[in-house]
Structure 1
Amino acid sequence: MSDYNTPSTPKRPPRQPRTGVTSTGARKAGSKSNRSRAREFALQGLYQSLVGRNGVSDIDTFTRDLAGFNKADAAHFDALLHGCVEQGAALDALIVPLLDRPMTEISPIEHAVMWIGAYEMQHCLDVPWRVVLNECIELAKEFGGTDGHKYVNAVLNGLAPTLRVAEVEADRTAKKPRA
């Protein structure tokens, strides 16, 4: 008779639960990367800028005092918040041609998410364009309206071939079947 606790019988490691997502497939709060958290805090700050017209330095100070900010990538937060506010008009100029309605009819959350996506595609070249797209879709799902993520996806997918020409083309040629 063997005993499972004896050293001669190897123990099977306990089954590891799937980490990072809930049963519905959504990301768990504890599993977010520091950059994902930075995007969330930047989104909150950009919302304050767009809706409340608060100054970026006031937003910055306020946001850094929020619970959980210490788990965010502060440098990425700075780049997104300050970069998007400073370049808002230029980012809108990229986004507006892809919209099917006036910007005034776009939710401030989706507007801010599109700013983040456009800014990252332009300035954060270390982040693959598909990661930018997926992160923005997740932000829109979590904070935006019911189908806002679909709109964000369509706009940023339309922007990617312009801002990440070589990267998007490389993805397309890699997916073509070989004859």
Structure 2
Amino acid sequence: MSDDNQSTPTPGRPRQNRKGLTSTGVRKASSKSTRSRSREFALQALYQHLVGGNDATAIDMFTRDLAGFHKCDAAHYDALLHGCIDTAEDLNALIAPQLDRRLEELSPIEHACMWIGVYEFLHCPDVPWRVVLNESIELTKEFGGTDGHKYVNGVLHALAPTLRPQEVAADKAGKPAQD
């Protein structure tokens, strides 16, 4: 049987026309930037921290040995992993008021994705706020539960005007942000 059937859509599922995406709408590994990859590794590491309470140094050593780590932005990964763990209380204090449940009831994936998003809002001004939002949503889509990305989107979208007020206001006005 040939590969010709791959271009034919399956019944009940629309054909994926956008390049670089899987049939579920998630970016293919080959089309991911080094920063996107660093967020994925940071997510895996933060998951270990949230679920197992593992030490950041031990998690870091383990994660750096994973296949494909060499393709990520190691400096951004370091900033995310150590920054999120070191400022966890501050991140949680920003996230908690936006939740409709207790922080402890969040899935570890959603929690880690929110940490990454809030951390980048606060400490990575070189990453536009919409990119931070989109990357966090994509992480949740790929690794989280069915509708977890909607929840992460809602929380981060509510925090963006507070954490990046000038950038969000300029974006809504249709102008580039002024420093």
Whether TM-score is above 0.5 comes out as yes
Alignment partner of 1:61 is 2:61? yes
List gaps (5 residues or longer) in structure 1: 1-16
Q: Deviations over 1:135-159 (max 9, x none)?
A: 0000000000110000000000001
- Measured after TM superposition, the shift of residue 133 of structure 1 is 0.3
Percent sequence identity is 70
- Measured after TM superposition, the shift of residue 29 of structure 1 is 1.1
C-alpha distance 24-59 of structure 1, shift in aligned 2 (>3 A):
closer
TM-score where L is the length of structure 2: 0.86
Larger Rg: 1
Corresponding residue pairs, total: 159
- Residue of structure 1 equivalent to 2:157: 157
Within 1, Cα distance between the matches of 2:21 and 2:47?
A: 26
- Residue of structure 2 equivalent to 1:98: 98
Within 2, Cα distance between the matches of 1:18 and 1:145?
A: 23
Alignment partner of 1:135 is 2:130? no
C-alpha distance 168-60 of structure 1, shift in aligned 2 (>3 A):
same
- Measured after TM superposition, the shift of residue 173 of structure 1 is 1.2
Deviates more, 1:21-30 or 1:51-60: 21-30
- Indicate the RMSD between aligned Cα atoms, in angstroms: 1.4
List gaps (5 residues or longer) in structure 2: 1-16
- Residue of structure 1 equivalent to 2:33: 33
- Measured after TM superposition, the shift of residue 23 of structure 1 is 4.5
- Measured after TM superposition, the shift of residue 171 of structure 1 is 1.1
Q: Deviations over 1:38-71 (max 9, x none)?
A: 0000000000001000000000000000000000
Alignment partner of 1:167 is 2:167? yes
- Residue of structure 2 equivalent to 1:79: 79
- Residue of structure 2 equivalent to 1:9: none
